[in-house]
Amino acid sequence: MSEDTTQSVLFPDLFLKPVLAEFDQPNGSSDGGAVLLKGIDSKLSLTERLAACLDDPRQPGKVVHETVDLLRQRIFGIACGYPDCNDSDALAADPVQKLLLDRDPITGQNLGSQPTLSRFENAPSSKDLLRMGEELADIVIERHAKRLRRKARRITIDLDPTDDPTHGSQQLSFFNGHYGGFCYLPMVGMIQFDDEKEKHLVAVVLRPGNVHCSRGAIGILRRIIGKLREAFPKARLRVRLDGGFAMPAVFDYLELERVEYLVAMPAMLCWNGMPNP
């Protein structure tokens, strides 16, 4: 037994002989459950389809890590609780993380470093990100169209902004008076089928922290509604929005699309500052 093992005797009163344990395995990982994510990704071809939306300007002869591998490394890393790119240096040789990228856990090539991932994250253009958002919506809607055999009586679309607090001087991080801090204000789109309780993520758009709640809502709704009508031609569509979306342009668009909608109305004040009756 190694002399530097801090805990070497477990449950000494339960056995006639002492139980010795040492934790010196050279190739260990605490992320074994991530193989389930790998199975889901393989079934949906999620990362493969998203990676196809990205242009790769690198010289082919100098590419060590393919775009799909970098995307998978980042997504699986975040899912396993490693949101910081700096974590990649410690995880580059992790056997499970390498297995997730179809590399041999022991002898396979190490994963991308922190500088490699940082360059990858800053490379996509706005058009790349738009294509990824469109592809994500297609993947989600296709899956449920197959699950429900394109039959649904009503589909409810929910749009909600949510604060993503920031710390430091991140680009587009601004103070938001409603949330009382510096943040991003991403827009999240969810869909719900008939009377099912579960909601399904269909769109996420990152926005600066000081934008109006309704910014970009019409464009997001236009794309989601178009895709849902194509996949579920007989379904009745309903849109639910909170008071921050109660803008004339939003109402005009919803009327033009002839969808059901429920929009919370914020409290209104008359000219003298007294509440309207």
Closest CA to 224 of 214, 232, 215: 232
Residue 276 has a pLDDT of 44
- Model's pTM, two decimal places? 0.80
Question: How many angstroms separate the CA atoms of 227 and 212, rounded?
Answer: 26
Contact residues for 204 (Cβ-Cβ < 8 A; gap 6+): 133, 136, 186, 187, 188, 189
Contacts of residue 155, Cβ cutoff 8 Å, sequence gap at least 6: 191, 192, 193, 194, 228, 232, 235, 236, 237, 238
pLDDT digits (tens, 9 = 90+) for 139-196: 999 999 999 999 999 999 999 999 999 988 888 999 999 899 999 999 999 999 999 9
Which sign, positive or negative, has the C-alpha torsion 240, 245, 251, 253?
A: negative
Residue 225 in contact with residue 232, Cβ under 8 Å? no
Q: What are phi and psi of 97, to 5 degrees?
A: -60, -35
Among positive and negative, which fits the CA dihedral 244, 248, 249, 254?
positive
pLDDT at 160: 95
Indicate the length of the chain as a whole number: 277
Which amino acid, one-letter code, is at 11?
F
The residues spanned by each domain of the chain are: 20-122, 151-263
Question: Which portions of the chain are predicted below pLDDT 70?
Answer: 1-16, 18-24, 267-277
pLDDT of residue 23: 63
Q: How many CA atoms lie within 13 A of 89 on its CB side?
A: 5
Q: Tell me the C-alpha distance between 82 and 88, whole Å.
A: 8
Q: Which CATH architecture has domain 151-263?
A: 2-Layer Sandwich (3.30)
Pairing of strands 154-161, 236-241: parallel
DSSP one-letter string for the chain: --TT-S--EE-TTSSSS-EE-----SS--S-TTHHHHHHHHHHHTHHHHHHTTS---S-GGG-SS-HHHHHHHHHHHHHTT--STTHHHHHTT-HHHHHHTT--TTTSPP---HHHHHHHHH---HHHHHHHHHHHHHHHHHHHHHHTTT--SEEEEEEEE--EE--S--TT-EEETTTTEEEE--EEEEEEETT-S--EEEEEE---TTS-TTTTHHHHHHHHHHHHHHH-TTPEEEEEE-GGG--HHHHHHHHHHT-EEEEPPPP-B-TTSPBP-
